[in-house]
Amino acid sequence: MDQATLDRQYSPSSRVPSLGAYLSEYERLSTAARRDHPVRTGLAYGPHPAESLDYFPGPGRGRTPLLVFVHGGNWQALGRAESAFPAPPLLAAGASVAVVEYGLAPDVGLDAMAGMVRRAVDWLLRHADRLGFAPDRLHLCGTSAGAHLAAMALLPGPSDGPDVSGRIAGAVLLSGMYDLEPVRLSYVNEALRLDEAGARRNSPLRRLPSRLPPVVVARGGNETEEYVRQHELMVRALRPRAKVTEVVAELRDHFDLPYDLGARGTELGDAVLAQMEPGGTTT
């Protein structure tokens, strides 16, 4: 495809009327989540100023599952301030929620971002008793660029950050990019500055181990063809390696799909809750 087409394919906002409307709603709903629910904000999980997270404790203690949410934004935008909106339905279902912030391009490279997400997972597991969730019930979830970073945390032998690959109970990957070679050739790489080796090193699709925890892989019905292709390739690669639940939410797009996380009665919410089993928590 020509450059303009490739750039459009890796610009998910090209499929929606207003990206700004979604970003404003993310911020409004996230503010409401922090106002209406107990939360510990700005917990530092590493030395970089961006390495912080917000933690929403679930209703139980000790055996509560945790969903760790990694935001999207093409590796260049957003943070925990706009990314707490998935928390309320998950809390209502009996889970705890952590919302991770990480450094952004062009100031932070992709290897370092992936290391930050791994450090966040490691920090949460080391503090599980104090925070009040079960360390063997941590589920890692990401959307868009966050899905890529979550998938990178599933890989053993990382180039940056601790190896947490064997300590994640399950993963939820929403509208992700898993082969970064076409991303490298698109406008997105103006900020990422990936060379061919960096794209290969940061392509989880090319590096999946033989065994993985259960994975929910989801996309909206209204996604660009390249996002659909990346989703299908990842599902196909995961099936021999993990229990995979595929979700195609026909009435959702790239930006409103995360609203269904934890929402009972939606295909995505039901799949995530079935994987996490928050009803099994004890008080």
Q: Which residues contact 107 (CB under 8 A, 6 or more apart)?
A: none
The whole-angstrom distance between residue 174's C-alpha and the CA centroid of its chain comes to: 7
Question: Do the Cβ atoms of 271 and 245 come closer than 8 Å?
Answer: yes
> How do strand 215-222 and strand 170-174 relate by DSSP bridges?
parallel
pLDDT band for 283, please (50, 70, 90 cuts): very low
In this prediction, residues 17-39 reach a mean pLDDT of 97
Question: Do the Cβ atoms of 104 and 50 come closer than 8 Å?
Answer: yes
- Helix, strand or coil, per DSSP, at residue 113: helix
CA-to-CA distance for 12 and 7, rounded, in angstroms? 10
Q: Is the pLDDT of residue 280 over 60?
A: no
CA-to-CA distance for 194 and 269, rounded, in angstroms? 34
pLDDT band for 158, please (50, 70, 90 cuts): confident
Q: Is the pLDDT of residue 96 over 60?
A: yes
CA-to-CA distance for 220 and 254, rounded, in angstroms? 6
Output the six-digit token pair for 37: 């629910």
The percent of residues in the chain predicted with pLDDT above 90, rounded, is: 95
Q: Which CATH number fits domain 3-276: 3.90.1150.10, 3.40.50.1820, 3.30.450.20, 1.10.287.1770?
A: 3.40.50.1820
pLDDT per residue as tens digits for the range 262-271: 999 999 999 9
CA-to-CA distance for 229 and 181, rounded, in angstroms? 13
pLDDT per residue as tens digits for the range 241-270: 999 999 999 999 999 999 999 999 999 999
CA-to-CA distance for 192 and 199, rounded, in angstroms? 10
pLDDT per residue as tens digits for the range 183-216: 999 999 999 999 999 999 999 999 999 999 999 9
Question: Domain segments of the chain: what residues?
Answer: 3-276
